[in-house]
Amino acid sequence: AAAKTTTSAPKAVKATSTVDKAQVKAFKEQVEKHLRTTIGTSPEKASKLAWWQALVATVNEDIFGRLTDTQQTHAKNDTRAVHYLSAEFLMGRLTINNLTNLEKFDVAREALKEFGLDINDICEEEPDMALGNGGLGRLAACFMDSLATCNYPCVGYGIHYENGLFRQEIRAGKQVERPDSWREYGCPWEVCRPESVQNIPLGGYVEKQTAPDGSQCSVWHPSSMIKGVPWDIPVVGYRGSSVAILRLWESRSTEQFNWDVFNAGGYVDAQTEKSLAETISKVLYPNDSTEAGKELRLTQQYFFCACSLRDILRRYKRSHHNDFSEFASKIAIQLNDTHPTIAIPELMRLLIDEEGLSYEQAWDITSKSFNYTNHTLLPEALEKWPVYIFEKLLPRHLELIYEINFRFLNGPVEAKWPGNNEMKSKLSIIEEGEVRKVRMANLCVITSEHVNGVAKIHSKLVKEDLFPDYAQLWPNKFCNVTNGVTPRRWILSCNRGLAELYNDVAGKDWPLDLDKCEALKKYADKKEYQDRFMKIKHDNKVALAKTIKELCGVEVDPNALFDVQVKRLHEYKRQHLNLLYIMSLYKSLLEDPDQDIVPQVFIFGAKAAPAYTLAKDIIFAINAVGEKINNDLRIKGKLKVVFIPNYRVSLAEKIIPAADISEQISTAGYEASGTSNMKFSMNGALTLGTMDGANIEIVEQAGIENNFIFGLSVEEVQKLKPRYNPWDYYNADHDLKAVVDWLDSDFFTPGQPGALSSIKSSLLNNGDPFLVLADFASYKAAHQRAQKMFKDKAKWAKAAMINSATMGIFSSDRSIKDYATNIWTLKSQLIKK
């Protein structure tokens, strides 16, 4: 039951006396046993890494028993399950999260303390599992946590990249990419499953054959075979619910293939083939929201989809043999963006060519099994693959895509718009032109039962602007599932002070029902609760200040306002708008160093795609401006700018709980949803942002008066865009003109004039595609409102508390329940022990 605390005494850390002594003793013995017998060392000489490995081995004892229970329950009940296909799963670290979900964190902390160890220090040994770029990959990870917690039968399928997203170093202010070999010394969470290895055909040609009954059929003669090796990562639901599996496929060469080449006398060729096969899962493409269009990327997509579908079929056939009539009622497949689209023709091919079904039977099953989530409207992110790549790699799949397209254009399209060739070419899966292309999103929409966007406004734009003609054909296909994030990772394990406060005011079940946090709202006016809330924030800021000192060498004051923008670097996210504002603030401080402003620390973290030159230039500019400002004694430390290198999940867990302001400043209509916006708000940051993506739904919950909303709306952007002239804004605003011109000088880059000019050029000569200059004045005004409110401590605390308390709907449990009810028709399953 909730202990109603009315005193002002902060209880940021749970008292150790509540931890059961016997459990601590048992845990301690287990860790020591593993240290000796699993890791082969002893407490006297163990390294931190060895301690961490022994800790994981201890946790795994608990996990594997639950995993077996989960799988046995599902098998016994022959449950319907969802199969979440995603090229990215950005899991981050697992130790603290798993301990938290098993409710063993406090016990483990005390046990390690008895060895003289600090659990947080030991857990720093764990490399982040960075098998994703940003929002889309982290969403998949949050969804796995919620699927397990809500007891939905599921499997996550992806790629076992040998190298995750690159490690970012900053040298002389510039981004340098280094490889991320996250499992160089093994990953103790994953289990290899040789019994489920798959062989995947690739390349070659299609032969037309005539069957005895005179009908034509196609026979694919692939030119090579790739071995897919599954690695399973258990995903632990909160409080002993089910344990889900994330199955990631590693590519290897097939022995017989190499052996043949070897026997034919080509040892070197055999090696080449081996390394080619292994290249497929070597590295994650570092593009977020843009497509590389590379052959290897399509091969990666096909490889993991082909492995996953064989795995799905194998499991289905275990209970249903060769009768496919129940397939669609047992199997739901979710496509996370267009990356796994190739699974559609691959399922068709498996059912027709390998299982002997007719085209019509295969289509009936396929079109009832798939659903597609769209995550972006950006044209450069919508995948289109040249037909010639398909001809080379996947000739049989291309044939099936043509067949699907033919039947679609001559069926539903002809019926709705008879004789209308313009409509046919618009809706066709194939784009005609000098290079013919396969439009993957069209294939997804045509095949899927449901197509969803990821926030209300985004789903509306998907239906009305991106696929309006498809929406006329199938209005009910289109729906919305607003994104969410797991409160287990994003409050309970990364902000223990706040979690404790929620335990006190909302009872201990809030991590399973985030709406319960609303209970804090009624204390938002009470001084002792405001003090306690802001003390938690302050402690988090002190911890972050220490991290900043270690990573950036910059001293920052925890009493200053922490203004944070952490996310991938992209023009539409407008880190350069933030930078222009910082420059204007600096300029005004130079003009009047004694002015009474709130001391502020601007904190950035962002990786740029290695080939995205302007994004890298913006990183350089942030560092150059920061260097100058941080060392300028004239402004008396009122302003600091830090760029934290190598932003990733484990850093987000330290940064987000310490933020006062969350910068969510994308051009309206461009950020599909955003998910860090939800995490910040949950942790009591106020959003300074545009009416874009999920920001709209956040302020709907928390109140516009408790956030700082600015800028053009989606409609205003759409209206202005065709006649937009950035020079008008530049010429009309002295301050704006001065800071834009400052970029052309060598003030921030002594001896290197023009080093920041590309940014000015993008804003003026390149037409400012994301309307930075148009939103500048309104952005500045929003900052001024924020400054003013920050001076009123009580008002700020109240707004922060209301933000945190009203984020219930942004739990990924809510998202997953929406999917389960409206898209998958999936029931949760209680696990029998």
> Binding segment for ligand H53 among 102-110, 672-680, 722-730, 819-827 (CB under 6 A)?
672-680
Question: Alpha-carbon dihedral of residues 285, 824, 459, 402, nearest 10 degrees?
Answer: 60
Q: Is residue 618 part of the contact set for ligand H53 (CB under 6 A)?
A: no
List 638, 679, 783, 817, catalytic entry: 679
Closer CB to ligand H53, 30 or 673, in the complex: 673
Q: Is position 381 an interface residue for ligand H53 (rule: CB under 6 A)?
A: yes
675 near ligand H53, judged by CB under 6 A: yes
Of the pair 331, 481, the CB lying nearest ligand H53 is at 481
Nearer to ligand H53, 530 or 673 (CB): 673
> Among 28, 183, 489, 573, which one carries the catalytic annotation?
573
Shortest distance in whole angstroms from residue 412 CB to ligand H53 = 27
Helix (H) or strand (E) holding 471: helix 468-473
Q: Which is nearer to ligand H53, 97 or 289 (CB)?
A: 289
Burial class (CB in 10 A: 0-12, 13-18, 19+), 667: buried
State in angstroms the smallest separation of the CB of 162 from ligand H53.
21
Which of 375, 537, 574, 798 is labelled catalytic? Answer: 375
Q: What would the 3-class secondary structure string for 578-626 be?
A: HHHHHHHHHHHHHHCCCCCCCCEEEEEECCCCCCCHHHHHHHHHHHHHH
Q: Which is nearer to ligand H53, 480 or 828 (CB)?
A: 480
Active site residue 679: yes
Q: Which residue is nearest to ligand H53 (CB)?
A: 135
Interatomic CA distance for residues 504 and 513, integer angstroms: 15
Q: Which is nearer to ligand H53, 656 or 672 (CB)?
A: 672
Q: What is the smallest separation between the CB atom of 682 and ligand H53, expressed in angstroms? A: 15
By the rule CB under 6 A, 486 interacts with ligand H53: no
Residue 137 Cβ vs ligand H53, minimum distance, rounded to whole Å: 7
Phi-psi region of 239 (alpha: psi -120 to 50; beta: other; left: phi over 0): left
The dihedral through the CA atoms of 808, 809, 813, 817 has a sign that is positive
DSSP H/E element including 74? helix 48-77
Distance CA 700, CA 704 (A): 7
**Tokens 């670097």 sit on residue:** 569
We find the least distance from the C-beta atom of residue 34 to ligand H53, in angstroms, to be 37
Residue 361 CA to its chain's centroid (Å) = 36
Question: Which 277-336 positions form the footprint of ligand H53 (CB under 6 A)?
Answer: 288-289
Of 466 and 702, which CB lies nearer to ligand H53 in the complex structure? Answer: 466
Q: Taking the chain, what is the end-to-end CA distance rounded to the nearest angstrom?
A: 26
Of 234 and 674, CB closest to ligand H53: 674
Of the two residues 548 and 678, which places its CB atom closer to ligand H53 in the complex?
678
511 touches 238 (CB < 8 A): yes
- Among residues 534, 672, 678, 709, the one that binds ligand H53 under rule CB under 6 A: 672
Using the rule CB under 6 A, give the single segment among 118-126, 129-137, 156-164, 756-764 that binds ligand H53.
129-137
Integer CA distances (angstroms), 262 to 200, 224, 594, 717, in order = 21, 15, 78, 61
Q: Is 574 in the site for ligand H53 (CB under 6 A)?
A: no
Calpha distance 352→100 (Å, rounded): 46
- Of the two residues 529 and 819, which places its CB atom closer to ligand H53 in the complex? 819
**By CB under 6 A, is residue 134 in contact with ligand H53?**
yes
- Would you call 567 a catalytic residue per the annotation? yes
| 335/333 Cα distance (integer angstroms) | 7
Query: Whole-number minimum distance, CB 127 to ligand H53, in Å?
Result: 21
Which window, 171-179, 210-218, 616-624, 668-676, contacts ligand H53 (CB under 6 A)?
A: 668-676
Binding flag, residue 405, ligand H53 (CB under 6 A) = no
CB of 649 to ligand H53, least distance (A): 13
- Tell me which of 286, 484, 674, 711 binds ligand H53, using CB under 6 A: 674
- Decide: 271 and 279 in contact? Cβ < 8 Å: no
| Residues 6+ away with beta carbon under 8 Å from 186 | none
Binder of ligand H53 out of 483, 530, 630, 815 (CB under 6 A) = 483
How far from 620 is each of 146, 285, 320, 343, CA to CA, in Å?
38, 22, 58, 40
- Is residue 375 flagged as an active site residue? yes
Name residues contacting ligand H53, limited to 30-69 (CB under 6 A). none
State the minimum distance, in angstroms, from the CB of residue 479 to ligand H53: 15
Q: What x/- string results for residues 137 through 166 when contact with ligand H53 is judged by CB under 6 A? A: --x---------------------------
Shortest CA distance to 823 belongs to which of 33, 46, 6, 83?
83
Q: Report whether 124 contacts 164 (CB < 8 A).
A: no
508 included as an active-site residue: no
Q: Which of 397, 568, 570, 780 is catalytic?
A: 568
> Does the annotation mark 70 as catalytic?
no
Stretch that binds ligand H53, among 58-66, 68-76, 374-382, 818-826 (CB under 6 A): 374-382
Burial of 731 (0-12, 13-18, 19+ CB in 10 A): exposed
Q: Site size for ligand H53, by CB under 6 A?
A: 19
| Least Cβ distance, residue 135 to ligand H53 (angstroms) | 3
- Distance between CA atoms of residues 666 and 455, nearest Å: 15
Cα 763 from Cα 757, distance rounded (Å) = 10
CB of 209 to ligand H53, least distance (A): 40
Q: Based on the residue annotation, tell me whether 384 is a catalytic residue of this protein.
A: no
Does residue 375 interact with ligand H53 by CB under 6 A? Answer: yes
How large is the angle between the packed helices 793-805 and 527-552, nearest 10 degrees? 90
Question: How far is it, in rounded angstroms, from Cα 248 to Cα 67?
Answer: 17
Q: How far is the CB of 129 from ligand H53 (least distance, A)?
A: 17
Cα separation, 533 vs 542, in Å, equals 15
Considering only 70-78, 133-141, 362-370, 411-419, which stretch makes contact with ligand H53 by CB under 6 A? 133-141
**Given the rule CB under 6 A, which residues bind ligand H53?**
133-136, 139, 288-289, 337, 375-376, 381, 454, 483, 671-675, 693
Residues designated as active site? 375, 567-568, 573, 675, 679
